[in-house]
Chains A and B, each alone.
Chain A
Amino acid sequence: MPEPAAVLRLVVVPSDAAALERVRRAAPAAEILPAGDAAAARALLEKDPDAIVAVGPAVAESLGSLGREAPPVVVLGAGTGSAPAASDAFVSLSSDLELPAWLQAAARHRRTQRDLRLVRAESERINGELVASYAQLVQQEKMAALGALVAGIAHEMHTPIGSITSNSDILVRSLNRLRELISSDTCPESFRKHPDLVRVIGIVEEISRVNRMATERIIGIVRSLRNFARLDEAEARPADLREGLESTLTLVHHEMKNRITVVREFGDLPAVQCHLNQLSQVFMNMLVNATHAIQGKGTITIRTVREGDDVKIQIADSGSGIPPENLARIFDTGFTTKSVGVGTGLGLAISRKIIEDHHGRIEVASEMGKGTTFTITLPIEWKTPADPK
């Protein structure tokens, strides 16, 4: 790349007429920023000079160390021909005539360093994206394996669950029949009123009722697992997001128990084009984070609302909130505040990637001590017909 003929910008200390004149004579094309003393020179660093020219070794000494990012310092000798006596940290020139060539070399060096910094920042950014993509890939593989496992388990459970459901229903029906028989006239009074009989019937009735509740719960969990790990959806199709939210809530129920109240403010939503299993992972992530943010009792509010061609899903917790200095970084790969083994620092990065794949966006607002709200905005239909996968 040809070097642009940039005007060199020099900080010159001290700023007396003789010193300025000396530098101007040696480097006539340069832009000169005069600095009265070392402190002034340091203040001028923010103007991003290409070099600092110290006239006289004593001034150079007073500059001290300027840090790694600082421009190079060149020391002009006290007089023509005299030996330079500046600190080893600085370059000393024995003749002012050497200054232009040295300045050019220094400027080139500075530019190269600046370019390197840009390249490094860019490669760090790309690396971050790669890590996020890789993490998502691993996550997808994990979900696929989990999905296959869950589908297998759900299938294996159909028969025993069917049998148990049927049996508890038969138990209730049998009990009703028994009751009819007992209350008929053919049944002796002494048997009908026998306290043991009354007690046993009461017990059987009660456990039948609980059995029915228990099987209904199992059926609900199996259905949620099946929805959550849905494998049969290679392409994005219209789905009811509330179904995904409900399935996910069933699965994180054990994390919340009686500690957290879930408030559903579900507005009417149209079917949204999506991979519901992927979005359910995002919901899962938000809900688990929300439960972690709440110490003791609290509330998680889930809102769904339609806004024009978009839908919004808000998950708000009454938890501890996120400090402002962390708020900007929470979607970054590898950022976590949880202890080792608790958080991987990938959850929110993957969540953001999934939402972006859905042509949507995810935002966060938080107030310390009041709670955090995540807002996911998704288009009802994707503008581009192509699937991101």
Chain B
Amino acid sequence: MNSPDRQPVILVVDDEEMVLVSIKSFLMLETEYEVLTANSPPEGVEVVKQRTIDLVISDYLMPEMDGITFLMQVKNLQPHTIRILLTGYADKENAIKAINDVGLYQYIEKPWQNADLAIVIRNGLEKRFLLERLAQKIREVKSAQENLQEIQDQIIKAFM
């Protein structure tokens, strides 16, 4: 795995505390991620406004707002955050539709397996950091190109 320069930040949003505790406990035990939790989508939106989130896991059925709407808001606030939907069997079809609409990275079915969850999160983060690094490289190449252009201009000027 590409180890990032900083500690990955993960946000878990579910209206059920038991899900939050289970996932947070698992990730705290097995990973070095910083795990944030929110008990409702509005609470989650507040967190996304304040912190850079690398990956977000959201439940689908929640009282105030469904998971897809919430992930849409996350996408508007932080387009590069990896978005994962946690869904019950009955909502599977909605989830699959949403993969295209919201640009979901993955959906996970309840009841989930920790090992699967770990792999999905790890791969998601890998994608996130690869893209970040790619953006960084592109910026570097661009500035190098600009420098090159400048030198070229100077050379041309010197010969004129």
Contacts and interface: CB of A to CB of B under 8 A. Distances in A.
Interface of A: 151, 154-155, 158-163, 165-167, 169-170, 173-174, 177, 219, 226
A177 B30 CA distance: 10
A5 B29 CA distance: 100
B88 A155 contact: yes
Contacts of A161: 110-111
Contacts of B23: 166
User: Of residues A162, A174, A226, which shows the largest number of chain B Cβ atoms within 10 Å of its Cβ?
Assistant: A162
Given A158-B111, A165-B111, A173 B19 contact: no
B114 A162 contact: no
Contacts of B16: 159, 163
B89 A166 contact: no
A174 to B, nearest CB: 6
Interface string B1-41: 00000000000000010110111011001100000000000
Interface of B is mostly: helix
B158 interface: no
A160 B88 contact: no
B113 interface: yes
B22 to A, nearest CB: 4
B120 to A, nearest CB: 14
Interface of B: 16, 18-19, 21-23, 25-26, 29-30, 88-90, 110-115
A162 B111 contact: yes
Contacts of A158: 88-89, 110-111
B114 A166 contact: yes
Interface of A is mostly: helix
A12 to B, nearest CB: 81
Nearest to B88: A158
A174 B21 CA distance: 15
A355 B119 CA distance: 45
23 contacts: A154-B89, A155-B88, A158-B88, A159-B16, A159-B19, A160-B18, A161-B111, A162-B19, A163-B16, A163-B18, A163-B22, A165-B113, A166-B22, A166-B23, A166-B26, A166-B114, A169-B26, A169-B113, A169-B115, A173-B26, A173-B29, A173-B114, A219-B111
A155 B59 CA distance: 13
Contacts of A160: 18
A192 B83 CA distance: 44
A242 B21 CA distance: 38
Leading 4 A-B pairs by shortest Cβ distance: A162-B111, A158-B110, A166-B22, A163-B18
B89 A170 contact: no
A160 B17 CA distance: 10
Contacts of A169: 26, 113-115
Nearest to B87: A158
Given A170-B22, A170-B26, A170-B29, A159 B110 contact: yes
A177 B26 CA distance: 12
A95 B90 CA distance: 88
A151 B112 contact: no
A174 B111 contact: no
Contact of A155 (B18, B22, B26, B89): B89
Given A158-B110, A158-B111, A162-B112, A167 B22 contact: yes
Given A162-B22, A167-B22, A170-B22, A151 B90 contact: yes
